[in-house]
Structure 1
Amino acid sequence: MSTSATVAPKEMTLYGFLRPWLGDGLLLSAGDKWSRHRRLLTPAFHFNILKPYVKIFNKSVNIMHAKWQRLVSEGNSHLDMFEHISLMTLDSLQKCVFSFDSNCQENPSEYIAAILELSALIVKRYQQIFLHMNFLYHLTSDGWRFRKACKLVHDFTDAIIQERRHTLTSQGVDEFLKAKAKSKTLDFIDVLLLAKDENGKELSDEDIRSEADTFMFGGHDTTASGLSWVLYNLARHPEYQERCRREVQELLRDRDPKEIEWDDLAQLPFLTMCIKESLRLHPPVTVISRCCTQDVMLPDGRVIPKGNICAISIFGIHHNPSVWPQPEVYDPFRFDPENPQKRSPLAFIPFSAGPRNCIGQTFAMSEMKVALALTLLRFRVLPDHAEPRRKPELILRAEGGLWLRVEPLRAGAR
């Protein structure tokens, strides 16, 4: 069954809890506002904008790996992937969105702590049905903490927008772009400030804040989940891990320093297959919901009446045995481009599908490729003794964290 985004806009229960934080950004807006913002934001994800971000990804991953080397040297090789990788993705997002380096992987950051707290509070609220009512929630200590964290995040974003708008106004667009060309990076805020629709109308400061906050929210947890689970799957399948490692070593053979560049991303076919199969088996977003604005006919003749809310299980689609033989088996060759399968394009939807698919999917895949390639170049990843239990929250986590062991590889070691 497939239905267009116009037939099925987003249902608001869980999404509604995000609104005080994310406002009317792409995730939560609908109708004309959503269409206008999607058009205005699409250039922010053009490869010319994304290319310079690869340097940022390398740097953020290097910081994480230096921390791992230090922990291992202190006798601690047993790490919670979610904890480390979430901080790394937040670090790189802050640099890509705001050109701001909070050094959050090494030192506590109030802003990063607030984002992590907001995500945790929303999950907690969703699980307590009597707190779904706003007036009750606002009376609780969690409600107070939520509002406080929201204010901190909004103040941070607002301050950067106002400072950047002031620079843009005083310099003018040409000078502003000239200065940016020297640093070779237009960040997300710059692109949004410069965006104009077909009538020459700009985004308001409030719109820019909503989109920046949405990208910070949507871009850190999902990528951290995708990366954590692919490391878990490769730890359990050392033969695939080794094949990925050889592919990366071969690619970077004559290079020093060992750094992944934009053009390398298309030269890692097996590593890409391993990421895709992990996104199938452990999709970061396990379910999406839509409200039908017209009757939807099912293949067997039954009808979902207009007005009904449908939960679409991405996890269920990815584990459907009639589409994916032995769905619980991790087999990267399902995605071998040399041997294309006759599957529906909607059989694999880790980034959703249709007009409302994830606008940041190239960004996310690029970051995952850089992080995975560098990790396998420097570390052997080994499974923990305990098998993790999958725990779907806002994203697919593991109960009590996703613990793996890391073993540094000597330079040049195979």
Structure 2
Amino acid sequence: MPSILPVALSVIVVATTPLLGVAFYYVCIVPRFNPLRKLAGPPVRWLFDNHMSFLLNPYRSPKAHSTFVQKYGRHVRIRGLGPWDDRLLPLDPVSVAHVLKNSTIYEKPWQSRRFITSLIGCGMLAAEGVVHKRHRRVATPAFSIQNLRSIVPVVFTKGNELREKWCEILDSSGNTGEGIRIDVCHWISRATFDVIGLAGFEYHFNAIQNESDELFHAYKEMFEIAVSQSDGLRTVIGIYIPLINEFFPDERVKTVKRCQEVIERVAGKLIQQKKSRIVEGEETGLGYAGKDLLTLLIKSNLATDLPSDQRISDEDILHNINTFMFAGSDTTSLALTWTLYLLAKHPGVQRRLQAELLEAAPSPPVSRLTSDEIESLYIVLSDLPYLNDVVRESLRLIPPVHSSLRVATRDDEIPISCPVRLRDGSISDQKSIPIAKGSLVHVPIEAFNLDKELWGEDAWDFNPDRWGTLPEAVSALPGIFSNLLTFSAGPRSCIGMRFSMIEMKTFLYLLLTNFVFSATDEEIFKANVVLTRPYITGQFKAGSQCPLLVKRYTRQND
């Protein structure tokens, strides 16, 4: 027996030596030749220290970004997960525009894609390159202005249903004074699920009335419990070593698997039914008149002028429906929640917006309007100047997506518009920043939206009036929406931006012409948990919450 031990040790040494050699090369040798190491950046206190807590925490990130610009310029070297992980933090509009425009050079890292795919499959959020182009080409017709116009009555119906539900809650409480406490985050999430269910694939979640639908539960559990309430370290380990999730699944992994089984069964059946109706309509010549995103997606995918190698599979369609559910419900509900929170904290702005919305309101109640009349009403709402300013200001101040990460797939030169500070303290007159293949670029969405040098000294304040006279520097910012990075920019910008605008403006109209919102005594803080979510101080484990005091609007409130 003793003679076996030396042999075993020898085998272990022989087997691990090459691995250790490779690890040493990538951890200690390769980083020394990374051109980013020449840039100025904040120091680290120990070998495995990093700057992520400063940059990803919305409580600390505004000050951190401002400090970094003052000390290190607009191209900052930051530390990621380890000493081998030097990253570029570009706070230069020209540099960020280059990164977002060249999506084939700067892709989402495999870690991000593996995490997204593990939840909602490889839809448009996770796909890259040719696959992403194929998904985007098939989905784009569904998000045309003409098709989205037909969704407006659905949004109004669900917004009005939420209004009626809150009226019931107020009436049953008997409180006619300061209003009652309503968790607007919870209720708006239920309403946006209803909207995307009907507008997405003609599915009735009925989440506003109750939360009993199994498909609603599956999506809700996956987005809330498995994402925002998961153990961050365990999730990271599972991304790098996926076999751990297979053989030693934790509660998060079990929850995701259970939810995915429901989604694949129920939503997968809906896709097959929808596809059969479309094919049957084409064969009979009667057509199929569905206006939901799933119908339009399938029709686009079956179009005769689309080459067969450009089509996507039924599995891909399911993954994109999951993507629409996540992006179309979670991000919009958070944007609406934060807008109501800001209006509650700024009653003067709320009163001014209410006055504009009430002036635009038609005489008959929304419930009596025809679909054409509702579409006409939305056209009026979409052009209201102060509503536009409030929505833009809310999306600027608290973007649901806090930041994003890209990896260089090849060596590149990133253009710059300002001098670069180097590690030795000197200022370089170089015209670009070389970046090596495999290097990560941290795209600071929030930082650009809150940059005081661009937006003015009140950039961290909620001030819708700023949109009347914007500083000239703002016009240089990239972004598909009002020079904001909230919906990103370039080929991977948010395909559902117009859909989100319809939801936000419609819900704000229906809620603010019927209710008044004010803040409670509870302290709300922002946390970046995949998206920027509201939590009550001391109650993080209870999940996203944003309670506000809600009472009926009357002329006496003015």
TM-score (norm. length: structure 1): 0.92
Shift of 1:335: 2.1
Aligned 1:93-104 pairs, distance under 5 A = 93-104=196-207
Moved more, 259-268 or 92-101: 259-268
CA contact (8 A) 2:227 2:529 kept: no
CA distance in 2 between partners of 1:374 and 1:407 (Å): 14
Aligned 1:200-279 pairs, distance under 5 A = 200-201=307-308, 202-257=311-366, 261=375, 262-279=378-395
2:108 counterpart letter in structure 1: K
Q: SS at 1:386's partner residue?
A: coil
1:135 aligned residue: 243
TM-score (norm. length: structure 2): 0.69
CA contact (8 A) 2:183 2:547 kept: yes
Which of 296, 309, 315 is residue 191 of structure 1 equivalent to?
296
Shift of 1:166: 1.5
CA distance in 1 between partners of 2:366 and 2:182 (Å): 26
Shift of 1:173: 6.3
1:54 aligned residue: 152
Shift of 1:127: 4.3
CA contact (8 A) 1:40 1:197 kept: no
Shift of 1:235: 1.0
1:80 has 2:186 as partner: no
1:305 has 2:436 as partner: yes
Q: SS at 2:494's partner residue?
A: coil
Shift of 1:198: 4.8
The C-alpha deviation readout for 1:104-147, integer Å capped at 9, x for no partner, is 22122211111121123134154434343322223223322211
Question: Among the aligned pairs, what percent are the same residue?
Answer: 26
CA distance in 1 between partners of 2:398 and 2:326 (Å): 19
Change (3 A) 1:263 1:277: same
CA contact (8 A) 1:192 1:203 kept: no
Q: SS at 2:492's partner residue?
A: coil
1:295 aligned residue: 412
Shift of 1:352: 0.8
Which of 104, 110, 118 is residue 222 of structure 2 equivalent to?
118
Q: SS at 2:455's partner residue?
A: coil
| Paired residues, number | 407
1:351 aligned residue: 487
CA contact (8 A) 2:454 2:471 kept: no
CA contact (8 A) 1:287 1:311 kept: yes
Change (3 A) 1:197 1:395: farther
Shift of 1:62: 1.6
CA contact (8 A) 1:298 1:304 kept: no
CA distance in 2 between partners of 1:194 and 1:174 (Å): 16
CA distance in 1 between partners of 2:365 and 2:188 (Å): 25
1:333 counterpart letter in structure 2: D
The C-alpha deviation readout for 1:249-291, integer Å capped at 9, x for no partner, is 1111434437653322333221111011111111001011111
1:35 has 2:145 as partner: no
2:256 aligned residue: 146
CA distance in 1 between partners of 2:444 and 2:109 (Å): 14
CA distance in 1 between partners of 2:554 and 2:452 (Å): 42
Change (3 A) 1:412 1:239: closer
The C-alpha deviation readout for 1:272-321, integer Å capped at 9, x for no partner, is 11011111111001011111123243632443322112221211221211
What RMSD in Å do the two structures reach over aligned CA positions?
A: 2.2
Structure 2's unaligned 5+ residue stretches are: 1-94, 174-178, 421-429, 537-544
2:271 aligned residue: 161
Shift of 1:215: 0.5
1:324 has 2:428 as partner: no
Change (3 A) 1:15 1:199: closer
Shift of 1:362: 0.4
Shift of 1:77: 1.6
CA contact (8 A) 2:455 2:470 kept: no
2:495 counterpart letter in structure 1: I
1:106 aligned residue: 209
CA contact (8 A) 1:193 1:203 kept: no
Which of 468, 475, 498 is residue 362 of structure 1 equivalent to?
498
Q: SS at 1:25's partner residue?
A: coil
CA contact (8 A) 1:58 1:371 kept: yes
Aligned 1:275-286 pairs, distance under 5 A = 275-286=391-402
Q: SS at 2:530's partner residue?
A: coil
CA distance in 1 between partners of 2:335 and 2:203 (Å): 24
CA distance in 2 between partners of 1:17 and 1:125 (Å): 14
2:342 counterpart letter in structure 1: N
Structure 1's unaligned 5+ residue stretches are: none
CA distance in 1 between partners of 2:453 and 2:170 (Å): 44
